[in-house]
Chain A
Amino acid sequence: EMQLVESGGGLVRPGGSLRLSCTVSGFTLSSYSMNWVRQAPGKGLEWISYISSPSTTLFYADSVKGRFTISRDNAENSLYLQMNSLRAEDTAIYYCARGNWGSFQYFDVWGQGSLVTVSS
């Protein structure tokens, strides 16, 4: 069974940092692009970052560009999101999602999410 499990969320003060992890199982991570998507409380889905399967191509939404960094370790079956200079508006559930075969495809496997709360 294909699974994505996020971890690393929690409460952080404005201006602080946090690193999210996404551990995958049931498929070969190196074969797929991966993404982070977030959902503010009671709101809709917002794509925030993409990484290609050999990590050569990275993209970010304008809302997180320059503050967040996506990375992956295929040998460890893990995806990461380093979040710096956090703001109250970054409070959300963060999901990792697998892109289907090819570049910039729809998301066919999702995790359950990890809650990040930015508050003083």
Chain B
Amino acid sequence: EPEVTQTPSHQVTQMGQEVILRCVPISNHLYFYWYRQILGQKVEFLVSFYNNEISEKSEIFDDQFSVERPDGSNFTLKIRSTKLEDSAMYFCASTRWNRATGNTIYFGEGSWLTVV
């Protein structure tokens, strides 16, 4: 069964460093997302991406964040200068609408980011 894959599964970084989280969405999906979940809290929307551009972004997704689809398969989230409060699980997700499951999004296993 096709799945969303994410790397790395866990990364520890120094405050102020740049981090790139990588994702390979399901191959025939058209919409891509990044969500984050701070430990013990709910899942928060960061950004959605369609047709090679950002469709929508939340207030969390400030100038420190950027997304890119550099080729036909990868989808990356970059945090330019990490802060302690960026420590969270980051989920990549993708979807393609169909009648049976609507616009169900399928998540990767997540990338744990710890900023020290």
Q: Do A and B come from one complex?
A: no
